[in-house]
Structure 1
């Protein structure tokens, strides 16, 4: 991106075209000690060991806001199966390094009992700037999400895909929800993580524009105020990423397993294929009249949420709408090699099961959140 001149707002990067339906997956993971399973500030040591002992990994391993977090990313993938293989390779390298350090790696959207004030901001210029700007919110942002990038051939196609995908944000939330516990308490939310994201001023939804020229004008107006300097400053549920040629869906909690992470990426890819092939609807600004309500319902109740159809205004159980959607996606799942993951999600929806329910069931049985975290660490390893 060219540097802005004195007093000029920064320019929006050109949208770099990418192949339609390609995927990239990012997972934010927890580092915990193996003595009481609280978060452990070992990101720097993990990065050093992974770099030294596992050269040639696909994708990347990078630090996140606080030093008990680590983010892994795939490269550009053509299928959910490829994404799963890459995530598994990186996960295995992380586990090898964690074993050396006598710590564990865990999925989930929140750590069930960590205390935010004990966290350390990772020593990186951007994280220091964010900490100075947002104060205690930066440490409270020790939450863990999965982001899925979806390739788009041009910027107008990206905006159309973004607004089509927005109707299915509640579905994504309910399928991935894995953050019922915060600060040792059951929040009664399936996804409490998104409440932390909502505290940031640039969170929520993208503006309803369908042409990139209009989006560029919006960006210029926003940056002129000095409130944002780049697309990174928008914490929207879905945002365009022009430097990658993608849209980025950001509402997923980090799942407890790599299989589920890959299945969720496959779900996004199949939705996009359905939109491109069948054009089941055109997005409209009125879709967003019920957006916040549907989003809240999915965060609070997960698969038991109510869903308001944006087109008709009809109220339906989200599970019912999800199952109907998954049936529509079956042929696309077959052709894209995502059938295993989509079927797994469908079976979970049938049974009302997600990771939030798994965590609650373990806590009901164990009565000890540290033991729940230990079992979640084993689950990420692939132990049944």
Structure 2
């Protein structure tokens, strides 16, 4: 099987996907209402799409192709508002966050769709444990080789994305001591991790053909890499973000990706190298475990520094690009949060420290997604 051609897309265009939790309003556990939500959402005239996910207590929303973070936020807000209206009719709630804090994986139901059934047969219990919730950001690339170059440059900033979006400290009622425990579940899949280091589409095609010949891979969907090319869209897709608790933060994170990609494409600040990946897994672990308190090892110099300092330095480097894209104010919110050492994982822990009841934390998180002030 040969690799499909890389389609043309507008450079720096954006698409955002958010996987969201459906919970009942009795004890705020996950509830299998995906079919009902999809039925109600079909009646809404909205941008993007709303589709099922692996288990029946999940739903995925997507924007259409956007060209600014303001457009991303506008579309996510419209879809969110429609979701909330539909959820209210069903007496359920929609929640962000990378994991549900206390759901039990064995109680989940696989959504009745051929691909999900196939994955369930292949991966067994891992499929139900994949009831985790992420944000995916697509950024448009002018051609295939630029896409691969941007992908490998972006890999140095994977710890930034993890720490800024981290919202999964709790799993099955326990504080995991990770800011992002969600990514530990992703790592269990055999084709997760990083993309191979190739910088031309012809080389990537050769790799893809080798993998399909083994029978392990049938399409690009079989790769669960942290960043993967999406040739049918003309994008690269960054997949390490936990779903944030608000659509505003989701849009800000997309703005960060867009400004980084602009810096890479216009200024060519560095050339990626295979040796960048020597510290990749360590940096990824640090960000998952400690969030903004992580240590970051610079792949080029080997220097150790606080991850928050590397994020702040990077935000300064891309400031001009953020301003040109109309993303400066959203990136300022990220900068402010880094300076006060705050992410969604911190918010969830603070709420649990006050309430001592994870169901109440989920209820308050549902209010946050609706755009309502903290109760």
| TM band (smaller chain) | over 0.9
Alpha-carbon distance, 1:355 to partner: 0.2
**Equivalent residue, structure 1, for 2:207:** 218
Aligned length: 373
1:41 correspondence with 2:32? yes
Unaligned runs of 5+ in 1: 1-9
1:62 correspondence with 2:51? yes
Alpha-carbon distance, 1:13 to partner: 1.2
- Give 3-state SS (helix, strand or coil) of 1:307's partner: strand
Give the 5 Å matches for 1:218-237. Answer: 218-237=207-226
1:13 correspondence with 2:4? yes
Alpha-carbon distance, 1:197 to partner: 0.2
Alpha-carbon distance, 1:279 to partner: 1.4
**Equivalent residue, structure 2, for 1:325:** 314
1:208 correspondence with 2:194? no
Unaligned runs of 5+ in 2: none
Match of residue 23, structure 1, among 14, 32, 40: 14
Alpha-carbon distance, 1:329 to partner: 1.7
Alpha-carbon distance, 1:340 to partner: 1.6
**Distance between the aligned counterparts of 1:43 and 1:11, measured in 2?**
35
Alpha-carbon distance, 1:11 to partner: 2.3
- Give 3-state SS (helix, strand or coil) of 2:254's partner: helix
Q: TM-score, normalised by structure 1?
A: 0.97
**Distance between the aligned counterparts of 2:209 and 2:2, measured in 1?**
7
**Equivalent residue, structure 2, for 1:173:** 162
Alpha-carbon distance, 1:50 to partner: 0.9
**Distance between the aligned counterparts of 2:7 and 2:215, measured in 1?**
25
CA RMSD for the aligned pairs? 0.5
**Distance between the aligned counterparts of 1:291 and 1:63, measured in 2?**
32
**Distance between the aligned counterparts of 2:333 and 2:295, measured in 1?**
22
Alpha-carbon distance, 1:277 to partner: 2.0
Q: TM-score, normalised by structure 2?
A: 0.99
Match of residue 368, structure 1, among 333, 357, 362: 357
1:81 correspondence with 2:73? no
After TM superposition, the structure 1 stretch with the greater mean CA deviation from structure 2, 12-21 or 352-361, is 12-21
Alpha-carbon distance, 1:333 to partner: 1.3
**Deviations 1:8-43 (Å, cap 9, x if unpaired)?**
xx3211110111100000000000000000000000
